[in-house]
Amino acid sequence: MLRKMSAMSLSVLSVVVTILVVEGAIERPRGVPLARASLYQPRAGNTFKCLTTGTEIPFEYVNDDYCDCDDGTDEPGTAACPNMKFFCQNRGHVAEDILSSRVNDGICDCCDGSDEYQQEKIQCTNTCDELGRKRREDLLREKELREAGFNIRKQYVEEGLQNLQTNKALVEDLEKSKEQLTTDREVLEGRKMEVESPEKEAKETHEKAWEAVKAERQAAGDKLKAAQAFEQLDRNRDTYVDTSEMMSHPEFDIDSDGTVSEEEAKEYLEDQERSTEEEFVEKIWPNIKEIYKPPVEASETKGDEDVAPPTATDAVKPPSISSDRKQVPPPLEDIPEGGAPDDIEDEDEDGSEDEEDEDDYNIPTEEEKKTEEEEEEKMPDYDEETKRLIEVADEARRLYDEADKKVKDVESQISNAKKYLDKDFGPENEYAFLYNKCFEYTEREYTYKLCPFDKASQRPKSGGSETNLGLWGHWDGTSNDKYSAQKYEKGQNCWNGPDRSVKILLQCGTDNQLLSAAEPSRCEYQFEFATPARCTHPTPEEYQMNSGHDEL
């Protein structure tokens, strides 16, 4: 390798090359940790072999502030070779490697100041003792916290184990009582079905009879309406309804041309010129009852002029009413205030009008009509025997429902206990303690809530509804520390984004506490949670390793 040496590096060389760190009895060039000191011993002929390329260079080229080896290993203590590491011994604190580019850059990076040895740019104070003391204090505190937490964890483990056993035993007991309760329920179901059958039969008989009564009433009412319509249509009282009478009713205008033609009238009269009352009630009325309008309604819709005035013949013809025809009360509008006109009021046989008669046309209010109709529509009470059968069946149903509830209760208890048993509460059940508990953390905008092994949520501080951030999913730590994190997923969908989810980072603490909640990515949350369940006992190795005496 062609060695180019600048005037500057030559001037530095005299300073650098002579500096060797003496640690114990082993000498090593600056920036080399004790563990690698042997690699930096001068070889025969006072040479140095580049550590990976194997190129041999004079030993005096090591740390001469010029990069001679292609692998940069000849400059462990200068910034000459890029991307190399400089080792700070930092006695009293923790040894560390820093980037070689930071050597003599005018900034103190190592607490022992060994990275700024030129001292032209800066003179570093050794702060390692101070930092080391602080660090040891922190470590001690952490160790004490871990020990205290670990002691609580031991109780959790015990309780977790007990709960596990209790729940297992509970499920066994509950399964047994479920068997008995299911048998009881079966017996009561049989009894219920036994007594429900005659009850149903009796009820149906009663209801069918009532339906028949209603149908009969309806038919009678319909017949009455048909007879009334016949009478209204038979204006000339000749005991027939004929085409001309039909023609005065605009509702029979089939083609809506404004008049009811004879053909149209005939069509409604079953292709006849006229119809007797019997035929009308039986055959014609069923076809017209939906469209037929009594004269008053017709005059209301079409105007009075549409109703043909009574003819002379009308006047002379005697009213012809079949013997069973009921008296049709006058339309409501025809009754003057204060009662019916004198000429249509009933007279007693003696021709006098008594006070009771004044009520004859007392018009029931809408409400009264409704109540009356409702009364009529109401099915009469069941007979005594049916009532007795209902009572027996009611009691059987009550007993069955009671037994059914007991089975369902026990099923729900089994399912709850199984839910508990199915959960992974950690290698020693140490996290079981957190089941059925919730913890909150409030920040600027929201109060966050975590119910371990159940769900996580968020509630705006200003009020408003809770947002589900996710339901218990799985343990989510690294492959060698699975129980260091949890995942809650499938929360409320984020508009134009994913379903909300939360990662919980667990850390050791003497209290169970939600320490922080953040949303590093939209609708993806991260909580920090401290719990004694996460505290492992500090090992002597950990303590040793952290004491800051790596090289001793």
Please give the residue ranges that form the binding site for ligand MAN (CB under 6 A): 458, 467, 494-495, 519, 522-523
Amino acid sitting at position 317? K
In whole angstroms, the minimum distance from the beta carbon of 152 to ligand MAN comes to: 33
In whole angstroms, the minimum distance from the beta carbon of 505 to ligand MAN comes to: 18
Strands lying side by side in the sheet with 446-451: 439-442, 446-451, 455-460, 467-475, 485-490, 501-508, 524-531, 513-521
351 three-state secondary structure = coil
Cα–Cα distance between 235 and 8 in angstroms, integer?
Answer: 138
The sign of the CA dihedral 105, 108, 114, 117 is positive
**Strand ranges for 18-84 from DSSP E:** 20-23, 26-29, 47-49, 56-58
Question: Tokens 């049916």 appear where?
Answer: 386
In whole angstroms, the minimum distance from the beta carbon of 488 to ligand MAN comes to: 14
Measured from the CB atom, the residue of 121 and 522 that comes closer to ligand MAN is 522
Measured from the CB atom, the residue of 405 and 522 that comes closer to ligand MAN is 522
In whole angstroms, the minimum distance from the beta carbon of 9 to ligand MAN comes to: 57
Cα–Cα distance between 124 and 126 in angstroms, integer?
Answer: 6
Measured from the CB atom, the residue of 123 and 521 that comes closer to ligand MAN is 521
Measured from the CB atom, the residue of 42 and 498 that comes closer to ligand MAN is 498
Measured from the CB atom, the residue of 356 and 495 that comes closer to ligand MAN is 495
In whole angstroms, the minimum distance from the beta carbon of 495 to ligand MAN comes to: 5
- Pair of tokens at residue 190: 């049989």
The sign of the CA dihedral 505, 511, 512, 513 is negative
Measured from the CB atom, the residue of 258 and 463 that comes closer to ligand MAN is 463
Question: Residues with Cβ < 8 Å from 263, sequence gap 6 or more?
Answer: none
In whole angstroms, the minimum distance from the beta carbon of 506 to ligand MAN comes to: 22
Measured from the CB atom, the residue of 90 and 458 that comes closer to ligand MAN is 458
In whole angstroms, the minimum distance from the beta carbon of 475 to ligand MAN comes to: 24
Measured from the CB atom, the residue of 335 and 494 that comes closer to ligand MAN is 494
Burial of residue 257 (CB within 10 Å: 0-12, 13-18, 19+) is exposed
Question: Tokens 């500090």 appear where?
Answer: 538
Residue showing the smallest CB distance to ligand MAN in the complex: 467
Buried b (16+ CB within 10 A) or exposed e, 298-314: bbeeeeeeebeeeeeee
In whole angstroms, the minimum distance from the beta carbon of 136 to ligand MAN comes to: 41
Cβ contact 32:76 at 8 Å: yes
Amino acid sitting at position 137? E
Measured from the CB atom, the residue of 115 and 524 that comes closer to ligand MAN is 524
Q: Render 240-284 in DSSP notation, one character per residue.
A: EEEHHHHHT-GGG-TT-SSS--HHHHHHHTTT-SEEEHHHIIIII
In whole angstroms, the minimum distance from the beta carbon of 466 to ligand MAN comes to: 10
